A and B are shown apart, each in its own frame.
Chain A
Amino acid sequence: MKLVSAIIKPFKLDEVRDALTGVGVSGLTVSEVKGFGRQKGQTEIYRGAEYLVSFLPKVKVEIVVDDAQVERAIEAIQKAAHTGKIGDGKIFVTAVEQALRIRTGESGSNAL
């Protein structure tokens, strides 16, 4: 099993969700996050007080999938979240040791 974490532009969330369900992903977790990469920040001005806001709002999508599904899931996210402009985000993949469905006690791939 692998954990796929994708940091994407907030307005791309629905497209990413559709793309992932399209390749058979049956659940995901979304959080609103802030951060910066190459996009840096933006300037806000309030009555002359200028602030360089270095943390931009992003959405983090997390899914846990079978090893066999990982490549398709990554490809689906990359296609759906892509605009070609700076700030599209990143995808990280890490190994997952265990999974358990709380209601039934099923574990491993059966819990996904």
Chain B
Amino acid sequence: MLKVIAHTGALAMFAMPASTAAWAADKPQIDTGDTAWLLVATALVLMMNIPGLALFYAGMVRKKNVLATAVQAFAVAALVTVLWFMVGYSLAFTDGGALNGFIGSLSRAFGSGLLGSVHELAKTVPENVFLMYQATFAVITPAIIAGAFAERMKFSAMLWFMALWLLFVYVPVAHWVWGGGFLGAAGVLDFAGGLVVHLNAGVAGLVCCLVIGKRHGYGTEYMAPHNLVLTLVGTSLLWVGWFGFNAGSALSSGELAGSAMLNTHISAAVAALVWMAIEWASRGKPSVLGILTGAVAGLGTITPAAGYVEPWAAMVIGVAAGAVCYWASVILKTRLGYDDSLDVFGVHGVGGILGSILVGVFATRAINDVAKGQPVGLVDGNAGQILTQLYGVVAVTVFCAVATWVILKIVDAMVGLRVTRDEEVEGLDTALHGERVQ
């Protein structure tokens, strides 16, 4: 019965008069299913940041810094939203003419020309929905960085840094990879932000904690997480929200979104178990923080690959995420001695690098025919994609590291990056905000 109706519908479309067909070509064909999914996915990704990331981080700091840590994600959400609407979206996602390899134009600044328009990447969704969806990515990326300098940065310096980093790092990198810039043109694949979001935030986090320095008392004082229940709730919201992040990045509501959601879920689950098993075997106990961190590592690592790989590959990626991110956060960090307070580099940075390279191995036309029938990744027979992915990794890492360092030096000269030693010992909640949790 359903089939008959579908046939009738198809016939009716073919029978459209020529004038109607021409009109249809001019006016974008909005798909209500795609649009509805993108509206929901937008809300899910914002939920990842507030309250997801805010709680994830807040639970891991000491009690005297819980409010100051949680409010960073919240304040960044507000700040980035305004900047994104003003110029960020336009510079990232429009054609920059002669400069298009590097940056877009100001044609969509302050939302101009949005109505009645669709973006080239999402032709079945109104462009104002696409702007909103991308706004939530622009919000969470800088907010992730804040975990690296938790418990010691001035609030004013944090706001300046986030604003400058959004405009001079996130926006260009998003343009290079997704908005028509040179990395996308070179064939670098990044489904939902392994390069643009996770590697970018992770490398920036590493530079931040190296420039700002260790927390007072790091390595000698007791700095254990004050409430891992908050972290568990935050991680859970991140996991659910990540369906909006990765499956939403299909920019449609069909099978591709389904593939991305399935892969995301599998990788998170496998990585949580792998991290747990490694810790259990090597340290004697399966820690709560370990299981949670493993899940986030699996989510971050599958992000660039979510809509390119088959589910069995998502399992392999989950295993790699759990093992490699464990090594980076637990062994490498201790050996090198930097104080990445909440392991932004070890989890997001390393996960982003790992996932972006593994896209070159596991991407297949069976899931996403991005090469128009030609082999996509190594599993299809195109080993060269791994080199293409490495090119993307190196380009974003080098640019992000240098630009982040310059921005930090500028902000340090403007307002000073770090609170005083007394304020740090007292706790940022009372020192910076005049409030505290009882």
Chain A residues proximal to chain B, CB less than 8 Å: 44-49, 51, 53
Q: Within the assembled complex, what's the spacing in Å between the Cα atoms of A51 and B224?
A: 8
Q: Are A47 and B224 in contact (CB under 8 A)?
A: no
A45 near B223 with CB under 8 A, answer no
Across-interface contacts of A49 in B (CB, < 8 A): 223-224, 334
Chain B residues 359 to 396 lying within 8 A of chain A, measured CB to CB, are none
**For chain B residues 313-340, which have a beta carbon within 8 Å of chain A?**
329-331, 333-334
5 A-B pairs with C-beta separation under 8 A: A44-B224, A47-B289, A47-B329, A47-B343, A51-B224
Chief secondary structure at chain A's binding surface = strand
* B77 to A: closest C-beta gap in Å: 26
Q: Distance in Å from the Cβ of A67 to the closest Cβ of chain B? A: 41
| B293 CB-CB contact with A under 8 Å | yes
Task: Assess whether B3 is interfacial by the CB under 8 Å rule.
Answer: no
Contact size range, B:
10 to 19
A64 to B329, CA, bound (A): 53
Name B's A-contacting residues (CB within 8 A).
222-225, 283, 285, 287, 289-290, 293, 329-331, 333-334, 343, 346
**Residues of B contacting A51 with CB < 8 Å?**
222-224
Instruction: Find out whether the CB atom of A46 lies under 8 angstroms from the CB atom of B222.
Output: no
Contacts of B222 in A (CB 8 A): 51, 53
C-alpha spacing A44/B222, complex, angstroms: 10
Which single member of B283, B343, B346 contacts A45 (CB below 8 Å)? B283
Q: Which residues from chain B contact A44 at a C-beta distance below 8 Å? A: 224
Q: How far is the CB of B438 from chain A (nearest CB, A)?
A: 15
Q: Once bound together, how far apart are the Cα atoms of A33 and B143, in whole Å?
A: 38
| Given A51-B222, A51-B224; A45-B285 close (CB under 8 Å) | yes
A47-B293, A49-B223 given; 20 more Cβ-contact pairs under 8 Å: A44-B224, A45-B283, A45-B287, A46-B224, A46-B225, A46-B287, A46-B289, A47-B287, A47-B329, A47-B330, A47-B343, A48-B329, A48-B330, A48-B331, A48-B333, A49-B224, A51-B222, A51-B223, A51-B224, A53-B222
Q: Please name the residue on chain A nearest to B285 by beta carbon.
A: A45
Nearest chain A CB to B14's CB is how many angstroms away?
A: 61
B88 to chain A, nearest CB (A): 33
Q: Report the Cα distance A49→B329, complex, angstroms.
A: 10
- Chain B residues contacting A45 (CB-CB under 8 Å) are 283, 285, 287
User: Which A residues are CB-close (under 8 A) to B333?
Assistant: 48
The listed residue with most B CB atoms (<10 A of its CB), out of A44, A48, A51, is A48
Tell me, in angstroms, the Cα distance from A51 to B223 when the chains sit together. 8
Instruction: Considering the complex, give the chain A residue whose CB is closest to the CB of B334.
Output: A48
- Looking at the assembled complex, report how far the CB atom of A49 sits from the nearest CB atom of chain B, in whole angstroms: 7
Q: In the complex, what residues of B have CB within 8 A of residue A48's CB? A: 329-331, 333-334
